[in-house]
């Protein structure tokens, strides 16, 4: 009995080292390079990748000393090219001598050329690779993606993380439709290749980056851009507006009204098998800015201001719908709204949807409620 125990102990001691040294995939941090952002550009049949890497100060400080660490210029953006994205991503090691680690990648920027040629190949690679996560922001740049990743963002040394900050703070203005890889994929599948992706450009005044409107994708290809007002119109319809300023002009005086909370309800009615969509938006807001210092606010004044404000929001929504009809693209997703509300009727009209959509009747009803006037009456 005693000898058996000793034998067992020895065999366990022999097995443990096998587990300790790790698996085949073991890598040291010095063999890997953590990628934070990816820009994809496209020539005729070549993919150009711009990979932004994280250079952790701990690594550089150890090698070159803390003093010089901040001053020595270490290249953190690397350009590679290949026949497809995977090829280009692997060619990263030809330049850097390390293998890229994609699991902490936060943004992916599609150059407008790449988006014009089609985003489906890009989406496939991104959702197939085992290192990439679905929680990754997707953007379309109005210039090439390379230029975007080369430029700087104010409060962040790593451009990709900075861009991710820009998107995460969309709540303050609601002028941006932030979309991650997962939701982009869902949007594309639900609407047969139609999607919206936020657009990014270089802001010449601040010499940094700026989110500017949204790109419209139809049949997996970039076809048009919508501006920030129309983007907010889309967000109103989807009930995703969190905060932001509505600019209202009443009797020649400009007002800034802050959105506190909004709720959207969509109903679908059918009239002779033709759908009519009723959108009701309820907005709670607060008065933040009047271009008149000596103004006195009465109840009547607020009531009429609420009406004007509702009118402005209604116009925002209408402009989005008008744009959507103009370019004949149902990026708002009315088709899936009708399907969700009444799947049986949708099946009947599905074939005629292309002829129904341009003449689709949408009733918009906005109720604004201003219940705060700030510190001044």
Partner 1 sequence: MKNNGKISMTQFNIILIVAIPSTSLLFVLSDVYENAKQDMWISLSLVAVYCISFSIILTKLAKMYEKKNLIQISESVLGLILGKFIGFIFLGFFIHINAVLIREFSDFLNGSLYYETPTWFFSLFILIPCIYILYTGIESIARIGQFVIGVFCISLLFILFFSFFDTDMSKLTPILANSPMSIFEGSLRLIVWVGEFIIILMFACFIEKKEKLTRSVIFSIIIMALLIIPISMCLVAVFGSTTEFLTYPFLSLTQYVSIGRNIRIDTFILIMWVSALFFKFSIFFYCSVQSAASLYKVKMKNFIIPIGIFTLVLSETIWDSGIILKEKILTQYSIVYTIIQIGLPIMLFIVAKLKKRFFKKNKERK
Q: By the criterion CB under 8 A, which residues form the site for partner 1?
A: 15, 23-25, 104, 127, 130, 133-135, 182, 185-186, 189-190, 339-344
Tokens of 161: 């993380």
103 near 161, Cβ under 8 Å? Answer: no
| Least spacing, CB of residue 255 vs partner 1, in Å | 34
Minimal distance, residue 48 CB to partner 1, in Å:
26
Which token pair is 6?
């000793």
CB of 55: closest distance to partner 1 in angstroms? Answer: 16
CB nearer to partner 1: pick between 134 and 371 = 134
Q: Helices (H), strands (E): how many in the chain?
A: 15, 13
Q: At what angle do helices 120-128 and 181-190 cross, to 10 degrees?
A: 130
C-alpha to C-alpha distance for 373 and 170, rounded to whole angstroms = 24
Q: Which is nearer to partner 1, 310 or 339 (CB)?
A: 339
Cβ nearer to partner 1, comparing 252 with 343: 343
41 or 220: whose CB is closer to partner 1?
220
Spatial CB neighbours of 227, under 8 Å, sequence gap ≥ 6: 212, 213
Smallest gap, in angstroms, from Cβ of residue 343 to partner 1?
4
Q: Which is nearer to partner 1, 54 or 248 (CB)?
A: 54
Strands 253-271 and 244-250 come out as antiparallel
Identity of the residue, 98 or 341, whose beta carbon is nearer to partner 1 in the bound complex: 341
Which of 67, 130 has the CB closer to partner 1? 130
In the complex, least distance from residue 127 CB atom to partner 1, rounded to whole angstroms: 7
CA distance to 19, 62, 102, 213, per residue, from 27 (Å)? 15, 19, 14, 41
Please say whether the beta carbons of 257 and 288 come within 8 A: yes
CB closer to partner 1, 237 vs 248:
237
Q: How far apart are CA 125 and CA 49, in angstroms?
A: 13
User: Residues 200, 109: contact at Cβ < 8 Å?
Assistant: yes
Residue 226 Cβ vs partner 1, minimum distance, rounded to whole Å: 23
How far apart are CB 68 and partner 1 at their closest, in Å? 27
Q: CA separation (Å) from 279 to 82, 112, 285?
A: 47, 33, 19
Q: Secondary structure of 156-225 in the HEC alphabet?
A: ECCHHHHHHHHHHHHHHCCCCCCCEHHHHHHHHHHCCCCEEEEEEEEECCCCEEEEEEEEEEECCEEEEE
- Shortest CB 130 distance to partner 1, Å: 5
């Amino acid at each position: 009995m005693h000898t058996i125990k000793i034998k067992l102990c020895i065999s366990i001691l022999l097995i443990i080292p096998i587990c300790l040294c790790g698996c085949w995939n073991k890598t040291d941090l010095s063999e890997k390079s953590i990628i934070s952002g990816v820009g994809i550009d496209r020539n005729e049949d070549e993919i150009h990748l711009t990979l932004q890497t994280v250079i952790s100060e701990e690594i550089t400080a150890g090698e070159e000393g803390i003093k010089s660490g901040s001053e020595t210029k270490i290249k953190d953006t690397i350009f590679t090219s290949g026949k497809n994205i995977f090829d280009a991503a692997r060619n990263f090691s030809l330049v850097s001598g390390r293998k890229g680690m994609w699991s902490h990648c936060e943004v992916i920027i599609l150059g407008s050329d790449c988006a014009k040629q089609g985003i489906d190949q890009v989406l496939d690679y991104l959702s197939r690779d085992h290192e990439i996560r679905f929680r990754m922001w997707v953007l379309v740049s109005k210039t090439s993606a390379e230029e975007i990743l080369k430029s700087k963002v104010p409060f962040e040394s790593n451009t990709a993380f900075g861009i991710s900050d820009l998107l995460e703070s969309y709540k303050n203005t609601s002028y941006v439709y932030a979309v991650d890889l997962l939701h982009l994929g869902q949007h594309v599948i639900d609407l047969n290749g139609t999607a919206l992706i936020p657009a990014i450009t270089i802001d010449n005044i601040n010499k940094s980056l700026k989110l500017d409107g949204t790109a419209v994708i139809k049949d997996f290809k970039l076809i048009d851009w919508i501006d920030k007002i129309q983007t907010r119109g889309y967000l109103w319809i989807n009930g995703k507006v969190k905060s932001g300023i509505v600019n209202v002009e009443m009797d020649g005086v400009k007002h800034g009204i802050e959105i506190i909370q909004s709720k959207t309800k969509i109903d679908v009615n059918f009239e002779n098998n033709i759908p009519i969509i009723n959108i009701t938006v309820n907005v709670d807001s607060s008065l933040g800015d009047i271009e008149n210092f000596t103004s006195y606010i009465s109840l009547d004044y607020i009531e009429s201001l609420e009406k004007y404000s509702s009118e402005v929001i209604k116009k925002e929504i209408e402009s989005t719908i008008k744009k959507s009809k103009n370019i004949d693209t149902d990026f708002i997703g009315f088709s899936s709204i009708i399907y969700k509300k009444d799947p049986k009727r949708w099946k009947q009209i599905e074939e005629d949807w292309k002829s129904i959509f341009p003449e689709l009747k949408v009733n918009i009803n906005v109720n604004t409620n201003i219940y705060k006037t700030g510190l001044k009456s």
